[in-house]
Structure formats: structure tokens, C-alpha cells
Structure 1
Amino acid sequence: MKIEAKENALHAGGPLEGKTVMVVEDEAILGMMLSEELSAVGAKVVGPFPRLADGLEYCAETLPHLAVLDIDLLDSDSLPLARKLRESEIPFLFYTSRAESEDLKREFPQTPICDKMMPVDKLIGAVRRLV
């Protein structure tokens, strides 16, 4: 893990440098890993938020530049938050085990959907493309 963090630090200063990235993830270890990886490439991470209510509360005060959303959270799904972000024109992607959901693709046709089995470097690349 330390070697990966050093390698990622070499890539800091790119399109995520200084951008606030909201992480909405109910799995604590995965949320912490995403936060660390995004921080290593220069992002200012808020979260991880494990509940819809937490994410909505944050967005009531401040909007991030970008967001990474798991769909299934502790208290609900993240779709109301995704709708709020879309309405506010905040770029986001879904990072979920439900990547093949046709309903999700239908409602959010322009939103990237990344499978949780995706290697973290590919996920970081997908987040960079949101900028």
C-alpha cells in the first residue's frame, strides 16, 4: 500500500488538484481507501458519507466539484443525492456492484457507472475524466 501511495503522489498536480471530491460509500474500508487514493492525486476529499442523509446534509451547505457515489447505502440508496447533483450540474459517477442496472442506465444515461471490481487506478482515471 505504501508503494502505491508513493506512485500516486507522483501523479498529483493533475486535473483533480484542489478539487473537492465527495465520496459516498457505506463500506468503511472501501470509503477510506477511495479517500486516500483520491487525496494522493491531489483531490480534497469530503466524506466518506455512509448514509444518504449525511450526503444530502453536506450538499445543503456546500456543493463539491465532483462526486463518487455508491448506490446502496446504510439508510437508503443514493439516487436522491444523484438527482440533486445532476440538477446542480455537479459531475459524478457511480461506483457500485449494480453496474449492470438497466434502470440506472435509463435514468442517468450520461453518468459513468463503474463496477466495484474495477481496479482503483481505472476508477481514478474515470474520476479525472469528470473534470
Structure 2
Amino acid sequence: MNPLEGKTILVVDDEPLIRELICEALSARGSKSLAAANGTEGFELFLKSSPEVIISDVRMSGGDGTELLRKVRERTSESVFSLISGFADVTTESLYDMGADAIFPKPFSMRKVISTIANLLLPQAERWSAVEQMEPQTLAFQKTAIDWRCVGRGGIFVPGIVEATVDEVVRLELHLSDPSIRLSGTGVVRWVRPRADILPKGMGVEILTLEEPGRSELIRKIQENQPLAFIPQGGKPE
């Protein structure tokens, strides 16, 4: 099965060669590609075409990617929204908290973009039940209790633990309160906040796999709560 087949994908970038590269790669996999040169044009196309996927640069003249993300998320959390970023002033954790589903640092791998988007287009139950090929490098987060402020559409903020590193695959053994749900599975660390400031220290972890019955229970609660963030930044320290 090719999740990209027949999908409408909006590519927003102010560099024509990058737009063309991404659109050609997507079209070769059966997608209908739309192109825009900035966030303003991109939002107009979004309203007209309701694309299933948006791939946008962050910094552009004429409307940047973060503003486009904000406008799209005000209207829907259904579209897969990925950002391409080459700027250190925009943090990974803030973009995930705003609702980005994936972030690709420049220079990016086209193969990685395609495989990530294809995976995000899968139904959540199928995506989280897939057999993970990478073995967890650590048993971090065992018996960690978190609340629902820490749960996003695709990942979890794990407070207080900072031993793992970005892109490390970790074992998840978590307890969610109110209502009580136990989660067992694997995740990949997307960002680390080593010290508490306005927000508590901890890690943002994208879920890779979850075992039953926790998987179905978590998906049901996410559908009920409709969180904006893909991975939330977490609440303020107590």
C-alpha cells in the first residue's frame, strides 16, 4: 500500500528549485502536488484545495511557515503539516507544540521526507502498532506518571527526565492519570529541555509503537480531547 497515492500535497517554499524537487518526488509516488512561493499563497491554496499534507519552509518573505501553521491549525488538525527549518531561532519544541507533525532540518533528505509523510498518513492505530525495527537504546521513562497536559496528537512530554538524547529510541512505560491508562511501547526523543525555566525540564517523545490495551485507550482519548500540539511543551512547573 502506498499512503501517498492520490493525496493532495501542498508544497510551500520561496526557492523554486526546492519546490520543484519536492513536487517531482511526490508526483512520482502518485500524489497531486500544489506549489506556493510563500505562506500567503500557501494559505489561499489550502482554503481552495483542502490538502491532506502541507510541507512548508519556515522562513519566507510574504508570509512564513509558522504563521501558515498557526492559520491551518486554527481550522483543522486533520492535515499532516511538516516544516523544513534551517534557523536556530525557531525551536523544535515550539514547532511541535504549535501543531507541526514533523520537522526536517536543512539540509534535508528527500527519502526521509517521503517516508515520514507516508507514515504520518497511516491511521493512528496502524502507525502505532507497526513493528519497530530499531531496538530501544535505553529503558528510560519506566513507571513514569504524567497527566493529560503532557499528551499530544503524536507524542508525549515526559517531565523530569533528561538522560536520553535527541533521535534516541527509548522504551516507554508510562502511567496516565485521570482516567488511569498504562502505556507500554517505544518512542523517539525529538527534543530535550535540560533545565526548568518557565517550563519544566523534560523531553518531547514521538510515539513509535504502543501495546494494547493502552494504544486503543490513548487513541480514543486523543480523539475526544483533540489536542492541538503534536508533542506538547508541558505545563508550568508546580
Q: TM-score, normalised by structure 2?
A: 0.45
- Pick one of 106, 114, 117 that aligns with 2:104: 114
Which residue number corresponds to residue 12 of structure 2?
Answer: 24
Paired with 1:99 and 1:128, the residues of 2 have a C-alpha distance of 27
Any gaps of 5 or more consecutive residues in structure 1?
1-12
Q: Partner amino acid for 1:97?
A: G
- Displacement after TM superposition at 1:84 (Å): 2.5
**Contact 2:85-2:106 at 8 Å conserved across structures:** yes
Within 5 A, what are the aligned runs for 1:1-131?
14-47=2-35, 49-87=36-74, 88-89=76-77, 90-98=79-87, 101-102=90-91, 104-109=92-97, 111=100, 112-131=102-121
Q: Partner amino acid for 2:2?
A: G
**Contact 1:92-1:130 at 8 Å conserved across structures:** no
Paired with 1:80 and 1:101, the residues of 2 have a C-alpha distance of 12
- Higher normalized contact order (CA 8 Å, seq sep 6+, divided by chain length): 1
Q: TM-score, normalised by structure 1?
A: 0.79
Paired with 1:100 and 1:51, the residues of 2 have a C-alpha distance of 19
Paired with 1:116 and 1:22, the residues of 2 have a C-alpha distance of 19
- Displacement after TM superposition at 1:107 (Å): 4.5
- Displacement after TM superposition at 1:100 (Å): 7.3
Paired with 1:18 and 1:30, the residues of 2 have a C-alpha distance of 22
More helix by share: 1
Q: How many residue pairs get matched?
A: 117
